[in-house]
Amino acid sequence: MDRMIKILALQALSVMIIASFSCSPGKGDGEITAGPEDRVITDMKGNRVVVSKKLERVALLGGPTGQIAYILGAQERLCAVTGSIATSELIRIFDPSIASRPTVRTVSGSVNVEELIKSNAQLVIAGDTDGEIVRSKTGIAVAYFDDSIGDRVEAIKKEIMFYASVFEAEKRGEAYNNYLDSMIAFINERISSIPVNKRKVIYNGYNSNHLVTLGGDTFMQERIELAGCLNAAKEIGTSSKQEGLHSGLGEVSMELVLKWNPDIIVIDMGSLEELKNDSRWASIKAVKNGEVYTQPAGAFIWDRPTAEAAVLHPLWMAMTAYPEKFRDISFRKEIKRFYKEIFGFNLTDKHARMIEEGSFRAKIMKGAKSQ
């Protein structure tokens, strides 16, 4: 009996010891030894990470955040990137070299460790899952971004400033944040006088069946409200992971969309004609009034919490819903101004048109194949 208790106690102890070693990612690094050539940065989880003062080779393993390097003018220092940024058609036009950077990650949890080591990165910036893989398999320093909150406007601004501190590009980070703030203020100034009962209901119908949407508990709720509109899917929650769909997305039934009867429908796949000729959709206000649109897409798809979409997507929705309030504004000009001032990309009229029409989306979607 005594023996049993002893064995059990030993087992419990060993479990505790193992647990204490393997506890939450990025915690408990112990003392930090920073040499004269080093500096210390604080990541978004509050960890202090030592990096060289000459930080020239950084691997970005974030999905939608890959474009931040361009906003900060730090693209030359990327030594390895994630798939969605390397295959972005718009980015490739203005930085052809991105296509030749090693792609060391496709989705969360799938990191090509050998390729990452070969890229000789000094620092990896990643979310929890990817960061843990890199930590456990390589000796490369990892700074974590917070992928649990990387959603709403305030979180995006915080994230930008974190990346800015890594790349020592605080000025450009602030420039982006100011741009974002003034855009939100501008839209608000134009739409704030619209009474709540006159605000238009937007339904985002994604996927080829147009029945996948972002609910009231996602970043899209805030984005639609910033545009002075109402989210048809406000009452439903989609932020939990649904098997087979990207996080935040949920599929609803056709009759729910009929019940919502939105004023505006925005799709991302398929043709507008096909939807307009489908009898199931015919009784909806948006279809009757011809208010069905394809969502624009730039460096990345806009139904994600990216830096570009945070600025331009609410403007596009507001201009689409209330064109009479924005008669003096050209959306394509706004596109060109944003990418020039923030990304340093000189878009042609054709590029701006392609963004507005969403034609880059098809290329983003098919990008992974053409690799």
Residue 273 lies near another protein (rule: CB under 8 A): no
Residue 272 lies near another protein (rule: CB under 8 A): no
| 287-316 binders of another protein (CB under 8 A) | 301, 304
- Tell me which stretch binds another protein (CB under 8 A): 136-144, 156-164, 191-199, 240-248: 240-248
Residue 251 lies near another protein (rule: CB under 8 A): yes
Q: Pick the closer one to another protein by CB: 275 or 310.
A: 275
With CB under 8 A, what is the number of residues at the site for another protein?
48
Secondary structure (3-state) at 253? coil
Residue 282 lies near another protein (rule: CB under 8 A): yes
Residue 96 lies near another protein (rule: CB under 8 A): no
Residue 50 lies near another protein (rule: CB under 8 A): no
Residue 364 lies near another protein (rule: CB under 8 A): yes
Going from the C-alpha of 148 to that of each of 44, 49, 156, 237, 247, the distances in angstroms are: 11, 20, 12, 16, 11
State how far the Cα of 140 lies from the Cα of 142, in Å rounded to an integer.
6
Beta-bridge partner residues of 301 = 297
Figure out which of the listed residues 221, 238, 295, 306 binds another protein, where binding follows CB under 8 A.
238
Residue 274 lies near another protein (rule: CB under 8 A): yes
Figure out which of the listed residues 140, 229, 249, 321 binds another protein, where binding follows CB under 8 A.
249
Residue 241 lies near another protein (rule: CB under 8 A): no
Dihedral of CA atoms 328, 331, 334, 340 in degrees, nearest 10, equals -150
State how far the Cα of 292 lies from the Cα of 14, in Å rounded to an integer.
61
- Tell me which stretch binds another protein (CB under 8 A): 146-154, 178-186, 267-275, 317-325: 267-275
Residue 155 lies near another protein (rule: CB under 8 A): no
Radius of gyration of the chain (CA): 23
**Degrees (nearest 5) of the Cα angle 321, 327, 330?**
90
How many CB atoms within 10 Å of residue 359?
16
CA nearest to 360, candidates 318, 312, 328, 322:
312
How many CB atoms within 10 Å of residue 84?
25
Residue 214 lies near another protein (rule: CB under 8 A): no
Residue 99 lies near another protein (rule: CB under 8 A): no
State how far the Cα of 252 lies from the Cα of 242, in Å rounded to an integer.
12
Residues that bind another protein (CB under 8 A): 63, 83-84, 106-107, 207-209, 211, 215, 235-236, 238, 242-246, 249-256, 258-259, 261, 268-271, 274, 278-280, 282-284, 301, 304, 364-369
